Amino acid sequence: MSTNRSSDAGAPGSTIQDPRQRRTILVGVCIALMAVIASVSGLNVAQPELTIAFDASIR
């Protein structure tokens, strides 16, 4: 039984060797993270006004 790494190209944990594909994945992850950070920041900015508008309290 031999282990051929080229046949395991789609297996979980395999390393991506193409620099362009790695860069594309990195850019995609960065854009997704920026979207999450922007939405959390927007919620933190709007939170005081939402509290007043909905007459919300901690209790």
- Give the integer Cα–Cα distance in Å for 44 and 41: 5
Q: Are 49 and 56 in contact (CB under 8 A)?
A: no
How far apart, in Å, are the Cα atoms of 4 and each of 9, 11, 20, 28, 57? 10, 12, 24, 30, 61
- Give the integer Cα–Cα distance in Å for 16 and 28: 15
Q: What is the pLDDT of residue 13?
A: 73
What are 22-49's pLDDT values in tens digits? 999 999 999 999 999 999 999 999 999 9
> Average per-residue pLDDT in the chain?
86
For the full predicted model, state whether its pTM sits above 0.75. Answer: no
